[in-house]
């Protein structure tokens, strides 16, 4: 699996587009490829917001205006603009033309053009950061979290973590408790979002090994750990990001992740 090593997981300032160009000059997308982009709100200039809004559908623009707080509205706009931009980059077509259905537990699914692979996309956002992950055919989930949040980590862990995870958290140095908690949390959320079961999936019924990023289930009949691959990054000093993708062969899976080039978003909005 081609991914950012853990030792290099702090994001670079500039990153190339995900996926090498195929024979037609477009980035290739398939079941063995995952593309993940993130966008830091601090990087967005005042003049960029009207451009990002042009990438959204009318329904998304309406929903954006319903947010009470500016920060919530802004990160919603950034996340949905990012999603549409990545779909257009990898599959073509105008950003506003992409349509989505909503599954039983609220997971959005792309309505892919006829004759194309089933595109699978997932969005996440938190204070100051938006992210999106895209692949074909396979289940995928992404989660981002803000490290500066205040949380009663061990009390929350008692309710939602498996015993092994609670022990790792209890053993962590005080200064590392928030990051350890959120590392588990982002991995769990990414998996739950990938399977599309929402809150109906108990978070303490499976656990992670942070050294290997392997998942294990209390009930072996629930899911097969060998079919899941995970990755995680630090998109900046204040955020963590985790990815889950159902894929049976780690060696074949190529994951490309990095910050979206803002110039691409600006050019797309002006096209």
Concatenated DSSP letters of 88-136: HHHH-S-GGG--EEE-TTS-EEE-PPTTS--EEEEEEEETTEEEEEEEE
CA dist., res. 71 & res. 76, Å (int): 9
Question: Which pLDDT score is estimated for 4?
Answer: 42
Q: Which of 114-118, 171-175, 238-242 has the lowest mean pLDDT?
A: 114-118
Q: Look over the chain and give the mean of its residue pLDDT values, rounded to a whole number.
A: 88
Question: What number is the average pLDDT over the span 198-209?
Answer: 86
Give pLDDT tens digits for 146-174: 999 877 788 889 999 999 999 999 999 99
- DSSP per-residue codes, 201-270: S-GGGEEEETTTTEEEESSTTT--GGGEEEEEEEEETTEEEEEEEE-S-TTT-EEEEEEPPHHHHHHHHH
Q: Is the pLDDT of residue 6 over 50?
A: no
Q: Is the pLDDT of residue 8 over 50?
A: no
Q: Which of 4-8, 71-75, 189-193 has the lowest mean pLDDT?
A: 4-8
Q: Is the pLDDT of residue 13 over 50?
A: no
Question: Which pLDDT score is estimated for 11?
Answer: 38
Domains of the chain plus CATH, in order, are 27-270 (3.90.470.20)
CA dist., res. 266 & res. 165, Å (int): 43
Close Cβ partners of 155 (under 8 Å, ≥ 6 residues apart):
none
Question: Which pLDDT score is estimated for 26?
Answer: 54
Question: What number is the average pLDDT over the span 85-111?
Answer: 89
């Amino acid at each position: 699996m081609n991914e950012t090593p853990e030792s290099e997981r702090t994001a670079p300032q500039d990153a190339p587009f995900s996926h090498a160009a195929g024979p037609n000059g477009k980035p290739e997308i398939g079941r063995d490829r995952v593309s993940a982009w993130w966008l830091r709100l601090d990087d967005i200039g005042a003049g960029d917001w009207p451009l990002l809004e042009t990438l959204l559908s009318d329904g998304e623009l309406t929903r954006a205006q319903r947010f009470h707080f500016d920060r919530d509205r802004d990160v919603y706009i950034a996340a949905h603009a990012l999603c549409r931009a990545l779909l257009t980059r990898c599959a073509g077509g105008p950003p506003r033309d992409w349509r989505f259905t909503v599954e039983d537990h609220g997971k959005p699914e792309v309505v892919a053009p006829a004759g194309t692979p089933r595109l699978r996309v997932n969005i996440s956002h938190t204070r100051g950061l938006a992210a999106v992950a895209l692949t074909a055919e396979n289940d995928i989930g992404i989660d981002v979290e803000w490290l500066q949040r205040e949380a009663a980590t061990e009390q929350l862990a008692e309710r939602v973590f498996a015993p092994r995870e609670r022990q790792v958290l209890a053993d962590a140095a005080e200064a590392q408790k928030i990051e350890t908690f959120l590392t588990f949390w982002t991995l769990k959320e990414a998996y739950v979002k990938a399977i599309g079961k929402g809150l109906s999936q108990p978070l303490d019924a499976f656990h992670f090994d942070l050294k290997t990023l392997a998942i294990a289930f209390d009930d072996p009949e629930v899911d097969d750990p060998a079919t899941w691959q995970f990755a995680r990054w630090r998109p900046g000093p204040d955020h963590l990001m985790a990815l889950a993708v159902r894929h049976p062969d780690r060696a074949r899976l190529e994951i490309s992740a990095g910050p979206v080039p803002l110039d691409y978003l600006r050019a797309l909005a002006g096209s």
